[in-house]
Structure 1
Amino acid sequence: MEDPVAEIPEIVHALTTSPPCVQREAIETYFLPSAAFDHPLVLIDPFTSPLPSRSIILSVYRCYKILSPEIEVQVLSVAFDEPNGQLYVTAQQVLAFWFFPWARIPARLVTVLSLSKQRHPGAHPYSAHVPEKWYIKSQTDLYQSDQWVGCLPVVGIPARAAVLFAKRMAAVACWALAAVFLWIGLLADRVGGKRVGSTQGQREDRALELVEGVERTVSKKLR
C-alpha cells in the first residue's frame, strides 16, 4: 500500500465480499509471506505453523465466505499511527449464514494491522528502482464477547443472547454490591479523615513550637 488510509476500505471488501480469486490476489499483494493472524476463534502463528501462514489466512477468509455467502461490510473509521506502523480499522459487518438465511447477525469490530514499510518481498535486494510500500505483517481482530460468539455456527444466536444477558446481570450485581457495601466505604472515609486530621494538627503544633523557639532565641540575642 502506498496510502494505507485511502486503500484499506477497498482491501477489506476484497478480502471479505469478493470471489476466491480476488481474495487470493489481495492476500498475496498486501500480506507478507510470514504474516500473523489473530482472531477470537482463529490463531495463525507463522513461527509454529507447519504451513505457509499466508495460505492459511486465505483459507480462513474462504471459510468465512462459505459460511456466510452474503456479507455486508462497512468501514466506519481508519486511523494510522505511521511512526509505529499501526493501522486501526473500525468496521461494521452483517453476516447471514447459509444454514440460517433468515437471520442477519450484525457485528462490530476493530482490526489492528501491523504494517511494515519495505520493498516487495519478491524483489531483488539490489533493485533500487523498486519503491517501498506498506505491507501487512499481522492482523488482530478485536470483538466484544457478545459480538464474536454471535459468529459461531448454529449456536451463535442463542450464545449471543446468553452473553448479553450475563453482561446485564453482571452490571446489576455490581450495582447491588456497591449499595450493600457502601457503608464500608463511608466508614473508611471517616476513619481516614480523622487520622489525616489528627496528623495534620500534630504537624501544625510542631511548626508553631518551632517558630516560637526561634523567636525566643532571636529576642535573647537582641538583649
Structure 2
Amino acid sequence: MDNPEAQVERVIRALTVQSRQDQADALEEYFLPDAYFIHPFCRVPSFGDRKIPLINQTINSRWFIFFIYQWYRILSPDIKLTIDSASFDKKNDLLYCSIRQKFTLWFVPFSLWQANVRLVTVLELKRKPTDRNNRPILNGRPSPDIDDLSLSYQPNKLYFIKGQEDHYQVEDFLKFIAPWGASLLWFSWQLFATFICAAGVLLLRKPIVVLRERVLGLDSRAIKKE
C-alpha cells in the first residue's frame, strides 16, 4: 500500500466478504509472510517460513491467518461490514480502523443468531522495498527475477501489514458466544458498577479524607506542581 488510509477498505473487504481466491490474493499482496494475528478467539504468533519434510509443505504465520479468514467466511457466508473510519499513525506505523459488522451463522435458521458488533482493528505496518511485481524484498534480497537483479533497478517502497490486532468491547465480544441477552447482562453490570462508584464517593469520601489527613498525616489539598 502506498496510501494505507485510502486502500485499507479494499483489503478488509477482500478478506471478509469476497471469495476464497480474493482472500488468498489479498494476504499474498498486503501481508508479510511472518505477519501475526490477535483476536479474542484466536492468535497466530509471528514466524517465518518453515518447511515440513513429510508433506513437502512450506508454512508461515500468514499461512495460518488464511485459514482463520477461511473459517470466518465458512461460518458466516453473508457478512455485512462497514468501515466507518481509518486513521494512520505514520510516526508509529499503526493503522486504526473502526468497523461495524453483522455476523450470522449459516446453519441457524431464520437468522435467529446474529452478532451486530463494533470493533477497532489495529494494523501494524512495515515499509519495505519491493520488486517489479510490488512484492516485498525480504532480508535485503529481491525475488529471483532476472530483471530485478539489474543494478539500475531502484526498488519502490510500500507499506505491508506486519500484524493485525482486533479489539472488541466486552458487550460486543459476548454477542459472539451468547447472543441472547449476555450483552444486556454486561450492560446492566456496568450501570451497577457506576452506581457503586458514585455511592462509594458519597459515603466514604469524608472518612477517607479524615483518615488521610489526621491519621496518616497527608494533606489531600496538596497538589504536586509539575
**TM-score when normalising by structure 1:** 0.76
Structure with more helix by fraction = 1
Tell me the C-alpha RMSD between the 2 structures: 2.7
Match for 1:131 among 143, 152, 156?
156
Match for 1:67 among 75, 79, 87?
75
Which residue number in structure 1 is paired with residue 24 of structure 2?
A: 24
Tell me by how many angstroms 1:74 deviates. 0.5
1:184-199 paired onto structure 2 within 5 Å: 184-190=204-210
Which residue number in structure 1 is paired with residue 90 of structure 2?
A: 82
Tell me by how many angstroms 1:49 deviates. 9.9
Tell me by how many angstroms 1:157 deviates. 1.3
Residues 85-115 of structure 1 show CA distances to partners (whole Å, capped at 9, x for unaligned) of: 0000000001111122513321100000000
Flag the structure with larger Rg. 1
1:48-197 paired onto structure 2 within 5 Å: 51-100=59-108, 101-103=110-112, 104-119=114-129, 120-122=135-137, 123-124=142-143, 128-152=153-177, 156-158=178-180, 161-176=181-196, 178-179=198-199, 182-190=202-210
Cα 1:191–1:36 change in 2 (3 A) is: closer
Q: How many Å separate the matches in 1 of 2:88 and 2:21?
A: 28
Residues 162-205 of structure 1 show CA distances to partners (whole Å, capped at 9, x for unaligned) of: 243134234314514642673321133356577789xx9xxxxx
4+ residue stretches of structure 1 with deviation over 6 A? 193-197
Q: How many Å separate the matches in 2 of 1:48 and 1:168?
A: 45
Q: Percent identity?
A: 30
Cα 1:66–1:77 change in 2 (3 A) is: same
Structure 2 gap segments, 5+ residues each: 51-58, 130-134
Q: How many Å separate the matches in 2 of 1:48 and 1:135?
A: 15
Equivalent position SS for 1:13: helix
Cα 1:181–1:9 change in 2 (3 A) is: closer
Which residue number in structure 1 is paired with residue 44 of structure 2?
A: 44
- The answer to whether the 8 Å contact 2:35/2:47 transfers is no
Equivalent position SS for 1:79: strand
Structure 1 gap segments, 5+ residues each: 201-223
Q: Which moved more, 1:115-124 or 1:18-27?
A: 115-124
The one-letter code matched in structure 2 to 1:84 is: N
> How many pairs align?
193
Cα 1:180–1:38 change in 2 (3 A) is: closer
Equivalent position SS for 2:29: helix
Q: How many Å separate the matches in 1 of 2:204 and 2:174?
A: 38
Cα 1:162–1:49 change in 2 (3 A) is: farther
